[in-house]
Amino acid sequence: MDLAANLRDIQTRLRAACDRVQRDLASVTLLAVSKGQPPERVKAAADLGLTLFGENRIQEGKAKIGLCPSRLRWHLIGHLQSNKCRDAVHFFEMIQSVDSLELAREIDKWAEKSAQRMPVLLEVNVAGEANKSGLSPEQLLARLKEINALPRLEIYGLMTLAPWTPEPEKARPVFRRLRELKTECEQILGAPLTQLSMGMSGDFEVAIEEGATLVRVGTALFGSRPAGASPTGDRPPFGALQS
């Protein structure tokens, strides 16, 4: 797999999507999803100029981050268990997968202990899929003020995973709904939210057309993940070893 060629292709697609809706290319950030990829591949991607990377499991991220160039920035994008919040706060610049009030409280607690603030996104299960985590839109709006009141947490915006489909157009209503939810949240909070994390390898162009500011791209950049690597989505497969 030629990383440089893949990246050029992604950038062409990014630019075309921005052009279609008259958005500034600089308003979209490409987050390279490095789950299932060894540190050497991350270094190769960093050499091409990428600086923002995403991991969906604490154990894997923790092991990898220390082996990668220290100037890189890391976001946690997969479901976080409460007992791993300490590491999440320590290793990641942002946690994109805050999916309950309880988890938000636990993250706040560990951020307080390490005397820092923790940027987060609230993950929304827009399509109500049973196998995905995330707050339902109703829960999001109901719990928002309480989550926002946690002193160490900084809510930057919302994140979602669209249902898998070979036709990216089918994801559009989900992305559009997330954008509307962001506006509803801004009204509740009386303050702007800057980030909408949505779109992956198969659907990031549609996500950009609907307002994504962060697109999380794995396979289109690195090629397919080695067998046994974390699946797309956020929960380990049923029966998988829990570390």
Ligand X SMILES: *Cc1c(COP(=O)(O)O)cnc(C)c1O
- Residues contributing to the site for ligand X (CB under 6 A): 33, 35, 56, 77-78, 161, 200-202, 216-220, 232-234
Q: Report which secondary-structure segment, H or E, holds 85.
A: helix 85-91
Q: How far is the CB of 123 from ligand X (least distance, A)?
A: 9
Looking at the Cβ atoms of 195 and 201, the one nearer to ligand X is: 201
Looking at the Cβ atoms of 109 and 163, the one nearer to ligand X is: 163
Buried b (16+ CB within 10 A) or exposed e, 85-120: bbbbbebbebbbbbbbbebbebbbebbbeeeeebbb
- Partnered with residue 197 across adjacent β-strands are 159, 214
Looking at the Cβ atoms of 33 and 153, the one nearer to ligand X is: 33
* Cα angle for residues 128, 213, 172 (degrees, 5° grid): 40
Looking at the Cβ atoms of 125 and 201, the one nearer to ligand X is: 201
CA distance 174 to 161: 9
Looking at the Cβ atoms of 72 and 152, the one nearer to ligand X is: 72
Q: Report which secondary-structure segment, H or E, holds 5.
A: helix 3-20
Q: What is the number of the residue whose Cβ is closest to ligand X?
A: 218
Please give the single-letter amino acid code of residue 236: P
Q: How far is the CB of 243 from ligand X (least distance, A)?
A: 17
CA distance 52 to 232: 18
Looking at the Cβ atoms of 35 and 41, the one nearer to ligand X is: 35
- Give how far Cα 156 sits from Cα of 115, 168, 235, Å: 19, 26, 23
Q: How far is the CB of 220 from ligand X (least distance, A)?
A: 6
Q: How far is the CB of 166 from ligand X (least distance, A)?
A: 12
Which residue spans within the chain are E strands per DSSP?
A: 29-33, 52-55, 73-76, 94-98, 118-123, 153-159, 195-197, 214-217
Q: How far is the CB of 149 from ligand X (least distance, A)?
A: 27
- Tokens representing 225 are 């993940």
- Tokens representing 92 are 């990641």
Q: How far is the CB of 152 from ligand X (least distance, A)?
A: 24
Looking at the Cβ atoms of 165 and 194, the one nearer to ligand X is: 165
Q: How far is the CB of 113 from ligand X (least distance, A)?
A: 27
